[in-house]
Structure 1
């Protein structure tokens, strides 16, 4: 297989513009708060900084989905190699969809920033006030493993968990957009994320049982009441109920 042409800065700018239109159309058609601040975010990104660059993925995670980044106030970077992200496979649809998915993902991060990162701050506060026992146990493990120079206290750990939750939510919102627009291979891309410790497909599993309106309510109306821990607990309860129904 021949590797495809790498992304350019101009490509990233076009991707961001097209993806904003994609998100706006999906949001209006589904009437879901995918990007609550989209008018202001769109205006800000029109003056944004867009770069194609080499972004190193974590070792051992070929499909980590870390192919972009957002830097406040309005900079979006995408990996130059996204058009060849299916390598060594020969699945151009996969690469094309992953490229758009990556742009959508970073745009949603930008929208959160425009809105004051409310979900991040509320989730961190929730973890500190509700899950002190889990923070304590986790911090003990971290200290035993010698990683306490990075995570020093409850606040550091709660912040990390909140960031992970927000990223999970961002993945879900991006998936909803591309699923609605029937992008090819999106389900295959989504399944790759199931290898993460807190896979974002926890939310699609909950969605199957409770509906998309319920899932979106978790990070809108119920902001500050829910995090990775509640998501995992809810998922496990669903699986237990399913197992019991099979046994009856």
Structure 2
């Protein structure tokens, strides 16, 4: 589990545990779960935290951590790429450090760590990748975040032939969720989290899809309903989506009608 200490990642990790899977959680905040060094140095191997998860420290923004974190996991296995952070800021207002750190966290860090993990794991692997509907939706002041999520989704689609060449039973599930009720993900934004999807409910949908997947690749959209009385209810559809155009659509009479701004 690459990023399973908060939000949807945590819900997916607990879902794996509840399915009887030995669940290793990698994350920058995994050490306080308690201390990862103590857990990993025990005579009987890693000991679980209070939730029955096996924490391992990994800072995706630190190249040295990405190079040296343990990739000793049993195979066959599920590998979940869930690490994420959000940034709503115009590109010209974004600092060089913010660009570098977000790129490492959302894309280059996981790719480099996944490269090591796949090379060392024996037996078939089922990669479950949590991208975002922001990979294809029109957004405002989110160009960096959306671009990195689009890169993640495109990378995973094109990884499929390589994984099948490595092992015919390898599988990939690409999930593009919409807005989730995770307040610390959308720090500083005044949003109605009551109209967003519950991470636990979305995690259950993801695991049900992955557990029944037979094709090598499945892409799924999990978007929140906006129907009155059903706000925040997950709506599941399959297949990729055509990216929305950046131009505002022309309304009757030739005036521009603004698109609604949605957040994930």
Structure having the larger proportion of residues in helix: 1
TM-score of the pair, normalised by structure 1: 0.31
Structure having the larger proportion of residues in strand: 2
Question: Which of structures 1 and 2 has the larger relative contact order (alpha carbons within 8 angstroms, sep 6+)?
Answer: 1
